[in-house]
Structure 1
Amino acid sequence: MESVSRHATSGICRRCLSSALSNSSYSRTTRPLSQLASPSPQLTSHRSGPRMRAKLAPPKTLSTSSVKRSLSLFGRKAEVAQQDAHDSARAQRVLRSDDLFHSFTHSPIPEIRQRAAFIRQHAYCPHPDHRMTRAPIDPGQTPVSSGNVAAAHVDFECPDCGIPVYCSEQHWADDYEAHLQICDTLRQINEDEHDLRSGRFFPEFEYAGPQMEEAVVNMTNWDTFLYTREFEAINADRSMRQVTRLLTYPLTIGSILHELSPYNIRKGGRLTPEGLKSLSALRYTLHPPRTGGGVGIQGLRPEAPPVRLFILGARAESSLPRNVWVQLAHLFPRGKFHLIFIGPESMANRDDEFPLPPRTASNPFGAIVEDRVWPTMKISTIVDYYHTLHKTGHFYPYDPYFDCFVMFHPGLGHPASSHDWAETVPLLLETKAPILVTGYTQHDMERDIAWVNKTCHGEFDMLMEPGENIFRSLRWDLNDLDPQDISCGNWGVWAFRGKRYEATRKEDE
């Protein structure tokens, strides 16, 4: 059949073939990648970090293997469509792969020049001669600054990393030894930002399609996962950093809930006995046994309701392209999901959808419902605080077999955001459902755990010991309010839930 297809297309000119492919249902939709994973400096805050500017509508993609195996009149349409995408990207290319390092201030990319201006207006020089302007990032560090010179905004760009870091060249030279600790990472951030806006073709954003149940997924690390999920080979470190920046959100959840999870109760697996109980309930729901059901009347079988994932304090993750979240559905072929993004910032970077739906009797909280994301996945977004919804009983009843809470970088213990969670966390413990929490850094994670211990001491069980997330983002991010503060998405992960008291009966003597 392949030879017949080649002969059938040999007499068609390239322009006609490209036109036919553009109308074909198998053609891929290419989106500007700078909108998928680029942070927005104007929206950077002390706890949210750099945000990703992403559009809501998912590209209509098929798995690479299914496209390659498709048999039709245009047997080589996948290769031609990919070549056309390469040609269009080459025509719009701004930077070459060997020309990605540029000064932020004099960058050829307007967005990066605006970001440099934002950093100059808000970030302060970290030289010790200046008065202290912030608390140390790590409690074990010495004070950031202890001098008597007035604080000054950064103005001098390091020639090695190209990012404004000090107020003057003299202060940069005096404190050069301390700057060397993060200079290489800042340069990597610089090049990754320019790479996103270089206009090149991004094959790493062509995600894999549905997974065959007979093909086992290996979740040992990023490399084994991408290989067993039949992603296109990613041979460059920079491409790996770009793709993990987005996939870290669904994979962090999937790696914990999957039956082949790398987190287990064995030594070093970090799962506690209570965690095994909670996650076993969810895994039982997400991996249902085969029942022999079918599409006919005789094949009707009772099915479990979808697992509800409440993503609280949602920010950048709510605006991810939907084909990124669909990767979570591909990990559980027979499971069903209902993702519920909740938080006052859950509509950030989704300006195309405003104004929000009106609050009516049938939709009391003005939820935005997307029920066509995937046959087994539904997404709802509610711009409100969770404790407000909880008190109304809108999601009642809660079941540990079907409910799970997720908080990406919530800042539970941060002085500027802990008050937002003071009313929410005790209500979460009442549900007895597992709560997955991630952190930007080890200090950020430990600060959240200390706050929960202080606020709800004795009322929660630890499900997973804190530690580095296997599926963390490999790309580092820069806090525009403080260039010394670098972190990566979902660096660490831990889990807890409300304590369950086992009732025992005392036998009469």
Structure 2
Amino acid sequence: MGASAKPLLQPDNLFHPLAQSPIPAIREKHVYIAEHGCCPVCQSKPPTYECPDCGYPTHCSEEHYLQDKANHDKVCGWLKETNMDDHDLRSGRRFREFDFPKKQPNENTINLANWDTLLYTRGFPSLVSQHAIHHITKLLTYPLTIGSLLHPLSPYNLKNALTVEGLRSLTALRTTLGEHSQMSTRKDVIFDPIRVFIVGARAEAMLPPHVYSQLAFMFPHSPFHIYFVGPEATPPPGNDSTHLGVSLQMMLRWERKLFHEFYHEVTPFDPYRDVFFLFSPGLGYPFARSLWRPTLELMIQSQCPIFVTAYNQSDMNADVATIEEDHKDTFDWLVKPTENTFRSLKKEINLLDLTETSQANWYVYGIRGKKYEVTFTGE
């Protein structure tokens, strides 16, 4: 938008019933919900009546809306928040929250206690609205979830979800990161990169590449190679290459293959510099379970850390139950299932069930293949 262009919507004009929205894409949401949903009262007619408080089509008539209002009120606030987030994102205003800071000054220490302290100590612009916070955390949840687990100032410790095995495993990675820092003045040393394998990558593979630079800025002396692996690992629009050097520190690579088709290209794995991330993979879904089982077996055999996120508690519970059943006695817990400090703060609504909400990377947990000690008994 040009400097003199006028925003389509002003900050005090972000609430609109979906069917009356000035944004075509939001009007289409009303059509989709009406075509694929049904009134929760009669369970037969399409939900075409829009709640005056949240703007979503929720019931077939005002009569059924009023009859079911006590139930709807439980989610009405979420729906209104999402409605206004969507209008703000398409308002045409200047998004100052996306003016990301560059390198971290040496004299400033980042604080990973929560989003507020992280954004402040990294020097992000002051965020004047909840909508801005929702937008920026939805983008940054992926690199910050990775960084918050690897960083020595991680919010996860032995009092908060981290296990003894987890401390040992992360210490290996942090030792490598520390060596990079200690030897950063040596011009004759070339460091092997920290390799982050994002397996089953989808939306996170399509983020603007500079978003992942925020991970590198947390570790200013360490090179990173990020691999997006999976059939849906598509580069962002405008990037036709499967390899991209974002900076001297950060290399991105996209591989539209199943992990077992690709991993021979990057073996052997090293627990001191390799780590796996699975962002909301849906391990517990019946149709995905058989596909994920051999992939997880390979990752578990590597004995490198594997961190997994989930978008709500039921999703996490299904994943954990599947892992414990399919891979029992082969792994140790590194991070017990817990709420992710750097989850997205923007709520997402299931358009097929408006009572179901989620947040990207809401929960996180970590595992690693068991270490087996070899004992020589002799004779």
Normalising TM by the smaller chain, what interval? over 0.9
Contact 1:275–1:463 (CA<8 Å) still a contact in 2? yes
The code of the aligned residue for 2:255 comes to I
Q: Within 5 A, what are the aligned runs for 1:46-65?
A: none
1:197 counterpart (68, 73, 90): 90
Contact 1:213–1:333 (CA<8 Å) still a contact in 2? no
Distance 2:77 2:234 in 1: 34
Distance 1:126 1:345 in 2: 34
Q: Within 5 A, what are the aligned runs for 1:39-50?
A: none
Distance 1:234 1:352 in 2: 29
2:219 counterpart (332, 336, 352): 332
Identical-pair percentage: 43
Contact 2:82–2:348 (CA<8 Å) still a contact in 1? yes
Distance 1:384 1:172 in 2: 47
Gaps of 5+ in 2: none
The code of the aligned residue for 2:70 comes to E
The CA deviation string for residues 289-315 of structure 1, in whole angstroms up to 9 with x for no partner, is: 423645xxxx413x3310111101111
RMSD: 1.8
Larger Rg: 1
Q: How far has the Cα of 1:503 moved from its partner?
A: 2.4
Structure 1 residues 339 and 462 mapped into 2: Cα distance closer, same or farther (>3 Å)? same
Matched, 1:503 2:377: no
Matched, 1:220 2:113: yes
Q: Which residue of 2 aligns with 1:374?
A: 247
Contact 2:184–2:221 (CA<8 Å) still a contact in 1? no
Q: How far has the Cα of 1:159 moved from its partner?
A: 1.3
Q: Which residue of 1 aligns with 2:154?
A: 261
TM-score w.r.t. the length of structure 2 is: 0.95
Q: Which residue of 2 aligns with 1:486?
A: 357
The code of the aligned residue for 1:258 comes to H
The code of the aligned residue for 1:318 comes to A
The CA deviation string for residues 450-483 of structure 1, in whole angstroms up to 9 with x for no partner, is: 0101111111111001111111111111122322
1:117 counterpart (9, 18, 31): 31
Q: Within 5 A, what are the aligned runs for 1:91-130?
A: 91-127=5-41, 129-130=42-43
Matched, 1:283 2:174: yes
Contact 1:286–1:336 (CA<8 Å) still a contact in 2? no
Distance 1:163 1:344 in 2: 34
**Pairs aligned (count):** 378
Distance 2:129 2:56 in 1: 24
Distance 1:376 1:98 in 2: 42
Structure 1 residues 152 and 416 mapped into 2: Cα distance closer, same or farther (>3 Å)? farther
Gaps of 5+ in 1: 1-31, 33-84, 131-150, 358-367
Q: How far has the Cα of 1:351 moved from its partner?
A: 5.3
Structure 1 residues 211 and 155 mapped into 2: Cα distance closer, same or farther (>3 Å)? same
Q: Within 5 A, what are the aligned runs for 1:399-438?
A: 399-438=270-309
The CA deviation string for residues 367-398 of structure 1, in whole angstroms up to 9 with x for no partner, is: x1112x011000000112112223xx111111
The code of the aligned residue for 1:335 comes to S
Q: Which residue of 1 aligns with 2:188?
A: 300
Distance 2:302 2:22 in 1: 52
The code of the aligned residue for 2:170 comes to L
Contact 2:345–2:359 (CA<8 Å) still a contact in 1? yes
Contact 1:123–1:483 (CA<8 Å) still a contact in 2? no
Distance 1:96 1:370 in 2: 37
Structure 1 residues 435 and 234 mapped into 2: Cα distance closer, same or farther (>3 Å)? same
